[in-house]
Structure 1
Amino acid sequence: MRPAPGEVLHFSEDPTITRFEPHVAATARQPEAYVWAVDLARSPDYWFPRQCPRAMTWVEPTTSAEDRAWLGAERVHAVEFRWLRRMQTARLYAYRFDARPFRPFGEPPNAHVATEPVEPLGPPEAVGDLVALHEDAGIELRLTATLWPFWRRVVASTLGFSGIRLRNALPEPS
């Protein structure tokens, strides 16, 4: 599930949204109200149930041979075992938007934001099997007892990485 050229996507487990209003997310690090969306490159970051903690990493042009060998794949998404059943049963939907009201957010951009209300281009589309999406995209999905050993290794590496909803992960082992 990826946006077409000139589009961005918003993923949700709620298929009833008809208008997206800018808001300040509870976890926001900035005070501005936004409607959030993602582009083609960042769409796979959201092929998860909303609250699922995930650690994602990928090979960059500057990734060392050692880190490339450790990762063993071009891109890996890691989740805790306890989220597998939810990944297999979640009903996720993608809302398509015209990209024009949105601007890149972050450096490098990791999302797109709009400051005005936006309406989807049509009804939401069921995303389907989240595990199969990863497989079809060539993204290795790894299951871990806890994300923290994997996350610590990734953030200390030369790999690209992103973590979402890490506050929902099991506590870091002592």
Structure 2
Amino acid sequence: MRPAPGEVLHFSEDPTIERFAPHVAPTSAETTPYVWAVDARSAPSYWFPRQCPRAMAWVREGTTDADRDRIIGPGGGERVHAIEYTWWDAMRTTRLYAYRFAAEAFEPLASPAAEPHAMVSTEPVVPLGPPEPVGNLIDCHAAAGIQLRLLPNLWPFWDAVTAGTLGHSGIRLRNAAPRPEPDQSRYSTT
């Protein structure tokens, strides 16, 4: 599920929204009220239950072959998404909907020297039509050729991704399991 040319999408588990008003998201570092949406490039980052923590990485200009091999690995594709095992049932059963908007009402939002990660509007917007069911979220990943990994804990993967040259995004990481304790046996001298 991606937007058509000239459109952006907002993903929600609520299929009853008729008008979107700008607001400050409680978890956002942004203090300006926005209506949030995504373009076609960023849409796969939202094929998840809303509260699901996810770590994502993709090949971009400047990605080294070593980082591509280390993080994405064999098996094809240019992108990998990782979630924790505890979110698998929600991933399989969540009903997600996509709201379509005219892109002209939105502008890109990016931190300095970063790729835009969202499209935002400071004015209320009305969807172009009723929300569309996204369908099976696992099937969305498969159809797009995106690896979907199940991990016991996201933090080791996230640390490896952010130390390299791949593009990356972490969403709802505050909902991830706590960081594992360092393996003390690695440091044993006996």
Q: Same fold judged by TM-score > 0.5?
A: yes
Per-residue deviation at 1:33? 0.2
| In the alignment, structure 1 residue 69 sits paired with structure 2 residue 69 | yes
> For 1:86-106, what per-residue CA distance to the aligned partner results, in whole angstroms no more than 9, with x for missing partners?
000000000000111100001
Aligned residue in 1 for 2:88: 84
| In the alignment, structure 1 residue 125 sits paired with structure 2 residue 132 | yes
> For 1:127-166, what per-residue CA distance to the aligned partner results, in whole angstroms no more than 9, with x for missing partners?
0000000000000000000100000000001111000000
The amino acid across from 2:32 in the alignment is E
Q: Distance in 2 between matches of 1:150 and 1:54?
A: 10
TM-score, length basis structure 2: 0.90
Per-residue deviation at 1:27? 1.0
> For 1:30-89, what per-residue CA distance to the aligned partner results, in whole angstroms no more than 9, with x for missing partners?
210000000000000000000000000011221112111112141000000111110000
The amino acid across from 1:52 in the alignment is C
The amino acid across from 2:50 in the alignment is R
Aligned residue in 2 for 1:37: 37
Q: Distance in 2 between matches of 1:66 and 1:30?
A: 35
Q: Distance in 1 between matches of 2:28 and 2:97?
A: 23
| Larger Rg belongs to | 2
Q: CA RMSD in A?
A: 0.7
The amino acid across from 2:176 in the alignment is A
Partner SS, residue 100 of structure 1: helix
| In the alignment, structure 1 residue 52 sits paired with structure 2 residue 56 | no
Aligned residue in 2 for 1:149: 156
Higher alpha-carbon deviation: 130-139 or 24-33 = 24-33
Number of aligned residues: 174
Q: Distance in 1 between matches of 2:49 and 2:120?
A: 21
1:98 pairs, out of 79, 98, 102, with 102
Gaps of 5+ in 2: 182-190
TM-score, length basis structure 1: 0.98
The amino acid across from 1:83 in the alignment is W
